[in-house]
Structure 1
Amino acid sequence: MEDFQPATTAEHLLWLLAQHGVEHLFLNPGTDSAPLQEAVATLGKAGVAIPKIIICSFESVALAAAHGYWQVTRRPQCVFVHVDVGTQNLGAMMHNTLRDRAGVIVIAGKTPYAEEPGAPGGRSHTIHWQQDVPDQAGTVRGYAKWVMEITRPSMLARAIGRAVQVATGGQPGPAYLMVSRDVLMDPPASELGRTSGYAVPRPPAADAETVRWIAERLVEAERPLLITAKVGRRPEGFLAVTRLADLAGVRVIDLAESGCLNISTSHPMNLLSAADGQRAVEEADLIIVVDTDVPWIPRFTQPRNATIVHIDADPLKIDMPMWTFPADVAVTADGATALGQIVERLEEAGHTARPEGTPEAPAPAPAPAAADGPITAHEVVTALNEVLREEDLVVEEAVTSARVLHEVLHRTQPATMYGTGTPGLGWGLAGAVGVSLASPGRRVVSVVGDGSFMFGVPTAALCLAAEADAPIMVVVLNNDGYRASRLPVFELFPQGLSAGRGDAEGTRFSAPPDFAAVARACHADGETVTDRADLVPALQRGLRSVESGRSAVVDVHIIRD
């Protein structure tokens, strides 16, 4: 509305977010959000466009959902949390946004400054003194890309424009803003401020000479290898990897822990198994590492005699203090853009087909024969292959079953696999809600471990799915414990008492919750599967629930190893 005149800074803030393309504000309210809540009502009545408000009952869930939305759309969304305590509840999801380079905007309230009687928005509760901490932003400073406090209405337009620009541009990441409620209640700036001119830099390309050099090395190489984790996050990256494999006979390691599909699982140059990947690293004479934090684990495998090219928006990895993987040529460039350039160079040189001798596509891994024993993770993924469509979206946080998911799940279309490949457990539920919110009409399936399910605050995540009208099916690979914490004990103490008894302290649940009952308590369908004959029918019922607009949890009890 051209004649829009906000009455408060809070109204101005909501208007600015909408003007910058922010579609959703994930709100966890507190005493500091009251001006925003009133502004929502006022602007709604006036017909002013603002972001859709989605209530969230826990802060980490809000941030995970905004992160999932970013993965699909590359458009930053906003999360509002309550002062220092709400900031702390963002927890490991803040780490995930840093490592996954997710563009999100977090706005946190700040303790009011005014305390005199009658001051609008001033201190009125005991907590307004208790929450006045020396360095609220310090909680996230090591993980936020940019931090700013809005202390006066006149700086609001520049702060919001800058937040969107910084969160989206370069290496995307979280922008963290703070604003007190008395500032939100202040009269707005006399002018609304500009909402254009905050240009986001285009993805950086490699220089022509470097592109030519890499293309020549690919033609000369006998055993070229491409290792990537996240170049397929954008469809053009997936297509560039595929084309490069076709043109130059490049084998591809699509790292399982990335939660991203970089090349079709049926492509003949995709090295699905971990053993094949380790051998390829050792045998390669040229390795191109693209958009990857950890291309291999030196403890298990290392290149022997390869020229190593590293392409990344930040090939120095300056936020990882001891990142020391070798590189003979480091290229500062967007991975998808640079690979596209290399493909174009090869095509200009006349390369149009794979070289002779390219292996045939690997046959799908056979499902283990049915037995009387517990269901295996392999069987669950095989059952998913039976019920999923090519266009369905899969969100992964399977932890120790991630390798099985990677090797067995059939995924052939770009942008049909999501995950973070980051350390913060508990993303898979709300992250899937964000993916669903950004993909209306698509079926979204989240595959998580039982530990991931509980870390994901399932009551908050499933209620968020209902509030946002973004249904998901959650498939829980339930082995009654923390296998990811048990295996390191066996690894470090192979002759120890824990390995001898096949268990480790603190990694088994003696009284786990009923996940299906949790689902039913949160506006979702819930079902427990212990018999393999029930597996496919249960998954089909869960997908029908999603199609009807209702979330579902299928809790599959798998082998406890």
Structure 2
Amino acid sequence: MNDMTLSGIDVPVASSDNGIWGSDVVAQMLRALDIPYLALNPGSSFRGLHDSLVNHLGNQQPQMLLCLHEEHAVAVAHGYAKVTGKPMGVVLHSNVGLMHGVMAVYNAWCDRVPMLILGATGPVDAAERRPWIDWLHTAKDQGALIRPYVKWDDQPASVAAAIDSLIRATNLARSAPQAPTYVCLDVSMQEKRLDEMPPLPDPKRFAAASPSVPAAAEVGEAANLLRQAKAPLILFGRMSRSERDWARRVALAEQLGASVLTDIKTAAVFPTDHRLHAAKPSFFLDAQAVDAIRAADLILAFDWIDLGGSLRQAGASPSTRVISISLDHHLHNGWSMDHQSLAPADLHLAADPDAAMHLIADALGVDPGMEPAVQPALPALACDGEQPLDVVSLAAAMGEALQDEVVTLVRLPLGWATESWHFRHPLDYLGIDGGAGIGSGPGMLIGAALALKGSGRLPVAVLGDGDTMMAASAFWTAAHYKLPFVAIVSNNRSFFNDEIHQERVARQRQRPVENKWIGQRIDEPDIDIAAIARAQGLVGIGPIRTVNDLRQAVGEAVKAAKAGSSVLIDARVAPGYNPAMTAGLTRHAGETPKD
């Protein structure tokens, strides 16, 4: 991972010292808080801060990343946090920019990633507002737009208050459970002239909270339950990208002889080709995962997304003991249902999942384990080269072409064949966007590529065509800042998820399933997605229709990415999902999955 500036891009001319302004203090504080980048789409409500970033700080630490839409700016910060576990900054223009960004903010909230969002408003003092436009861009309580899905928000009225707000917001974003925070800056405060630069507090004197750990007695109780279990099962959910933590998870499972399940909705946390990994990671439980849950006499869940729903779906025995380790309840509120189904827990450790994992491992005498090697990709499928592409053959062809590369899979689509690729390192796969908000993929790929730049890893994303087209203008940012990656668009020319739902409704009502495509298909006219990518400075390849052609296209894309280019391949696939995914999308609550 690499936090260096994007040197040589958007370098300002030197500026003379012409006084100190409120926004200069804000900019200096952002630097002191180690915020490396600020993704933004320009706006007059933060023109003062914009000037300070350029002419006071020289566009370094933090460096601005120009985006063409506020939703992309938030998604870029989201992707960056998925790799680093650290917040970068976003600036959203007034109420209108915030409204553009809210979907991406909700995604970041549901995904529990850290992010510092700076907003701005027209003058709070009505006497200072310009006619018309400042009134439109001023809200009495701007934070109310996103308060249910940020961890904390504030609108400081002075420079001194802004300093405190920035420190608090950054530390809260970094502290578990992580989530976005929001600070709205009054334009008048930004543009206030000061006599001198006030002394800035040392952020080290305001350290972020250390990870929460359970009491020793609770750790001992958990260890005793695990010792007594005959058939333990570990559910590894939202956990860190640390190689040390990964090694200890594997060692813990091996000492217990516990079966393990992981979730494709979260990043890689355990080697999927390990003998204890009981089922392929999936969006919904498949038959093997259900069997593993039903066979367990003790379930140890580390911040598992929708633990209650998973246990109900699998029909877990009421006699199965459950240990749940999570801090997520601290973020649950009455507005959003992202907290999922109420989960049973015979023992609930309110603790950081990795910190608690190490304490339990210590109590059981588990050794540190062996940290994972950084290895080339490990595809698990092969296919005939002449066949047309579908979701399975796309994964196989892509895997064959990338098998000698060290790859980070940034995003995978709903239809991904989860058995097609193994994860053996915490950066092999980064998970989904949290809130299932379409249009997040391109921006998150850009943010991950920013974080991985110079790491030796090749960022690769498989994006849906609908997701890509909702956010196609995000790719300009990648080309401008020279962020290498390979994006493969799994282009079925449809919002196929909803075709499945319409087919199910038609069958229930005994109506023609042949009509399921109407209002779903993205065709007539066809969209040349590769041309859209080229128009923004990317290397655009395609359309590609066969396995052999995709193998060749991916090979070309890798060469171009290694030379510094952002690359997009338009891969035309037949509509379809893997069977477990199709079943999960249309299953009634409480039903168990069927192959």
Decide: shared fold, TM above 0.5.
yes
Change (3 A) 1:14 1:412: same
Q: Distance in 1 between matches of 2:246 and 2:505?
A: 38
The offset of 1:265, in angstroms, is 2.0
1:536 is matched with: 551
Kept in 1, the 8 Å contact 2:25–2:197? The answer is no
The offset of 1:366, in angstroms, is 4.1
Q: Distance in 1 between matches of 2:109 and 2:495?
A: 25
Kept in 2, the 8 Å contact 1:225–1:280? The answer is yes
- Runs of 4+ residues over 6 Å off in structure 1: 350-353
Q: Which amino acid aligns with 1:339?
A: M
The offset of 1:207, in angstroms, is 2.4
1:200 is matched with: 208
Q: Which amino acid aligns with 1:541?
A: E
1:306 is matched with: 320
Kept in 2, the 8 Å contact 1:15–1:50? The answer is no
1:408 is matched with: 420
Q: Distance in 2 between matches of 1:508 and 1:297?
A: 32
The offset of 1:219, in angstroms, is 2.8
Alignment of 1:11-410 (within 5 A): 11-44=24-57, 50-114=61-125, 122-188=128-194, 191-196=198-203, 197-258=205-266, 260-273=267-280, 274-295=286-307, 296-297=309-310, 300-304=313-317, 305-315=319-329, 318-319=332-333, 320=337, 323-347=341-365, 365-369=380-384, 372=387, 374-388=388-402, 389=404, 391-401=406-416, 404=417, 406-410=418-422
The offset of 1:352, in angstroms, is 9.7
Kept in 1, the 8 Å contact 2:306–2:340? The answer is no
Identity %: 24
The offset of 1:267, in angstroms, is 0.8
Q: How many residues align?
A: 534
Q: Distance in 2 between matches of 1:433 and 1:352?
A: 33
The offset of 1:343, in angstroms, is 2.0
Deviations 1:393-430 (A, max 9, x none): 111141232xx1x3211321222211334322222211
The offset of 1:246, in angstroms, is 1.4
The offset of 1:297, in angstroms, is 3.9
2:436 is matched with: 423
Q: Distance in 2 between matches of 1:26 and 1:281?
A: 42
Change (3 A) 1:112 1:100: same
Q: Which amino acid aligns with 1:166?
A: L
Q: Distance in 2 between matches of 1:491 and 1:50?
A: 52
What value does the CA root-mean-square deviation take over the aligned residues? 2.6
Kept in 1, the 8 Å contact 2:29–2:163? The answer is yes
Mind listing any 5+ residue stretches in structure 2 that lack a counterpart? 1-16, 281-285, 371-377, 577-595
Match of 1:514 among 528, 548, 558: 528
Where 2:438 maps in the other structure, the secondary structure is coil
Q: Distance in 2 between matches of 1:343 and 1:20?
A: 34
Q: Distance in 1 between matches of 2:44 and 2:330?
A: 43
Where 1:489 maps in the other structure, the secondary structure is helix
Kept in 2, the 8 Å contact 1:16–1:195? The answer is no
Deviations 1:4-52 (A, max 9, x none): 996101111111100010111112111122212322343246xx96411
Kept in 1, the 8 Å contact 2:123–2:129? The answer is yes
Change (3 A) 1:532 1:517: same
2:565 is matched with: 550
Kept in 1, the 8 Å contact 2:453–2:484? The answer is no
Kept in 2, the 8 Å contact 1:232–1:263? The answer is no
Q: Distance in 1 between matches of 2:93 and 2:368?
A: 57
The offset of 1:234, in angstroms, is 3.7
Q: Which amino acid aligns with 1:418?
A: L
Change (3 A) 1:131 1:498: farther
Q: Distance in 2 between matches of 1:239 and 1:216?
A: 22
The offset of 1:369, in angstroms, is 4.6
Q: Which amino acid aligns with 1:386?
A: E
Which segment drifts farther, 187-196 or 104-113? 187-196
Which segment drifts farther, 385-394 or 306-315? 385-394
Where 1:466 maps in the other structure, the secondary structure is helix
The offset of 1:512, in angstroms, is 4.3
Which segment drifts farther, 228-237 or 86-95? 228-237
The offset of 1:136, in angstroms, is 2.0
The offset of 1:69, in angstroms, is 1.3
TM-score (norm 2): 0.84
Where 1:150 maps in the other structure, the secondary structure is coil
Q: Distance in 2 between matches of 1:293 and 1:223?
A: 22
